[in-house]
Structure 1
C-alpha cells in the first residue's frame, strides 16, 4: 500500500517526534511508495523558517527527495475533492490540509498525518494513519 505524508508526518520524521517509528516503517517498507504533496514543500520551509532553521531547507529537500517516490501536484480533481471535504468538515478544515487530504484520496493513497482535524474525516472518505499527538 502506498502513502502520502502530510507535512505534519514529514515533521514527525524529520524531528524524531512521537510517531517517528511508524513513519520510518512506511519509508522502509519495500512494498510501499511514499509521496508528498507539492503543497507540503512551502509548509515545510515555513516551519523551518519559524524555527530560524531555513538554511537547512536545501539539505532537507534534497534528503527527502531521495525518499519520496514523487511530489504530487494539485489539479482540478483534487480541488473538487478538497471542496467536498471542506463542505463536510465540522467545525473547520483548513484549505491546505483539505487539498493534501484530497490528493491522497484522488491518488488512492493512505494519508499519514498528526492533525486532529484530518482525523475527523471519515474512513469511508479517506484511508489514513493518525500519528500520536505532539508531546508538550
Structure 2
C-alpha cells in the first residue's frame, strides 16, 4: 500500500506530470492510499503561496474522503527519521525525513516527486518517484 508525500498530492491536485500514475493508484480498488499528517499543512501552505487558500476546505474535504488514513508521527517515526537522515548521502529536510519514516515504519511505498526523498537508499523505504515538474 502507499503513502503519498505532499509533492505527490500536489501533482494530483494540479494535474502535473505524474498525475497518471497517481490516478492509477486511486483507480485501484485494492490500493490503500495514506498521507502523513505532516503533509496537511504543507499542501495548505502551497495553496496559500499561490493565493488559493480559500480553496483549502474543498481540497481537504475531497481528498480526506479518498485517503485511507492520515497517519500521525510518533517517537518510533522520529527515531526512523534520524536513521534515514544518517544514511542518506545528501541533505534530507526534517519534514521529508519524517514523512519517509512514516512510510518505512508502516511498510508503505512512498510516492513522491522530490530529489531529497529519492536519495534515501532503497533498503530503508520502497519508493515510486514521479517525473520532475516541467516548466514550459
Q: Deviating runs (4+, > 3 A) in structure 1?
A: none
Instruction: Please report the RMSD computed on the Cα atoms of aligned residues, expressed in angstroms.
Output: 0.6
Q: Counterpart of 2:133?
A: 134
Cα offset for 1:27?
Answer: 0.9
Does residue 108 of structure 1 match 2:107? yes
Cα offset for 1:89?
Answer: 2.1
Does residue 90 of structure 1 match 2:89? yes
Q: TM-score, normalising length from structure 1?
A: 0.97
Cα offset for 1:87?
Answer: 1.1
* Unpaired segments ≥5 residues, structure 1: none
Aligned residue for 1:112, secondary structure, equals: strand
Distance 2:58 2:90 in 1: 37
Cα offset for 1:28?
Answer: 1.0
Cα offset for 1:124?
Answer: 1.3
Is the 2:84–2:120 Cα contact (8 Å) retained in structure 1?
yes
Distance 1:97 1:11 in 2: 15
Q: Counterpart of 2:52?
A: 53
Distance 1:96 1:112 in 2: 15
Aligned residue for 1:118, secondary structure, equals: helix
Q: Counterpart of 2:77?
A: 78
Q: Figure out how many residues of one structure are paired with residues of the other and give that number.
A: 135
